[in-house]
Amino acid sequence: MASTIIDSRIFGDMFSDARMRDVWSDENRTAKYLDIERALAKVQGALGIIPKEAAAEIVKNCELSQIDWPKLKAKTEQIGYPIIAVVNQINANCRDGLGEYCHWGATTQDITDTAAVLQMREGLALVEQDLDEIGEALAALARKYRDTPVIGRSNLQQATPITFGYKMAAILAGIDRHRERLQQLKPRVLMGEFGGASGTLSSLERGAMETQAALMKELGLAQPLISWHTVRDTIAEVGAFLGLVGGSLGKIAMDVKLMMQTEVGEVFEPFAPGRGSSSTMPQKRNPISCLYIHANISVARQHAAALMDAMVADHERSTGPWEIEWVALPEIFCLLSGALKQTKFILKGLEVDATRMRANIDITNGLVMSEAVMMGLGPYIGREYAHDLVYDLCRQAVTEDRPLIDILAAHPEISKHVTRAQLEAFCDPGKNLGQAGVMVDRVLAARA
């Protein structure tokens, strides 16, 4: 019976993704143990470290279908770790005692860590796919709304006009940096472990380094320069990376839910009948996906911190910090997968109301164009004096509830320098978008 949000039959596919749950399932984890034991026997048989007959028999019996799950559970609870329990079952299924050569020279942590790396590889591949899709969705929005004015906001107050394409491109640039980070970290973190008891491979009299090299080649992982049983920076790096990705997804969710407010109404999550409705207020359209993203990335961030705690390990084999990873690593991947899925849903079907965006720019009667007016007047009366004068005139416009353009055009010190037509150009949001379009194009070009 499921007892967590991730495994819930009701909530599981809202808070996580089935593909990622499969990666971190008992079945896939155990399959990775078997993959490693199979690869180890294969390379050691080829190197003559164990008899070829034993290697062949072990390889034949490293099959998930042969695992006795109740026995595996009971033995794991007895010992504290599942690896010996898996090796016992492989050995028992081999003929003529040939299974005794299984796990030759390895230690529990070698298999556990390498299995976790194989799972991370699969999990990161899914993250990469999702980031690619999110990047494409953001690029499409940036391209489509490159020149669509929307008000920029500072401290939740209206600032100066930008474009919605610029807003999307700024977030897209961050997503593309995550994609770059992912390519950079793969060679560091996708590294297996095979070191024996204290990491020195003293368990093998000959062929130790050859076994390690061949094993990693067989598994498609990097060979470590030295054992990393209690040097856990690579695992923590993956957690930190996922935490960073979550932060960017949270930024998207934050802006969307703020822009969905009734008083703003500029963008909306994709519509589906009944989605986001209230049990007592039929008119509501709540930002459902944004809420799940916010919750997921907040918890995932705590797991990233926990993985950094796990770095503080004692001596050559630790007494507890290692097990933190068993809890935090699967959950951070699964929670982030849910946030990625919800983000894809939002962006691929985002409803954008360009008319409302323009109307919101105009609600201040032109006050948001005060910077453009100040800079336009600067060459005539000085920037600092223009700032103070426009400040006073903005207050007058608010007090009298009049358009700023009328106040400006009526002021004698302004009218003697510039015409109303010039002032209207200063106050036109579409003519004062700065380099927004150029910057959008730069982000899109960089992707290409």
| Nearest-10 Cα torsion for 73, 79, 80, 84 | -80
- Distance, CA of 432 to CA of 394 (rounded, Å): 18
Judge contact between 357 and 430, C-beta under 8 A. no
C-alpha 179, offset from chain centre:
10
How far, in Å, CA of 325 to CA of 308, rounded? Answer: 9
Q: Report the largest interatomic distance among the alpha carbons of the chain, rounded to a whole angstrom.
A: 106
Q: Is 289 a catalytic residue?
A: no
Counted residue by residue, the chain has a size of: 448
d(CA 4, CA 2): 6
- Other CB atoms within 10 Å distance of the CB of residue 241: 20
User: In the block, which residue shows the tokens 């009366």?
Assistant: 381
Integer Cα distance of 291 and 273 in angstroms: 18
- How far is the CA of 274 from the CAs of 29, 282, 285, 290, 291, in angstroms? 39, 9, 9, 16, 16
Rounded Cα gap, residues 93 and 259, in angstroms: 61
Provide the angle, in degrees to the nearest 10, between the axes of the packed helices 26-47 and 83-93.
Answer: 60
| Of 99, 94, 102, nearest in space to 36 by CA | 102
The residue annotated as part of the active site, out of 143, 285, 317, 420, is 317
Beta bridge partners of 154: 157
> What is the DSSP secondary-structure string of 246-263?
HHHHHHHHHHHHHHTSTT
Chain centroid, CA 387 distance in Å: 43
- The alpha carbon dihedral of 259, 265, 267, 271 has a sign of positive
Cα–Cα distance list, 31 to 25, 62, 147 (Å): 10, 9, 52
- Residue found under tokens 């990625």: 340
> Active site residue: 202, 278, 298, 415, which one?
278
DSSP 1-32: ---STTT-TTTHHHHS-HHHHHHTSHHHHHHH
> Is 278 considered catalytic here?
yes
Give the three-state DSSP class for 319.
coil
Residue type at 142 in one-letter notation: A
CA gap 383, 376 in Å, rounded = 9
Tokens in use for 75? 């033995």
Residues classed as catalytic: 278, 317
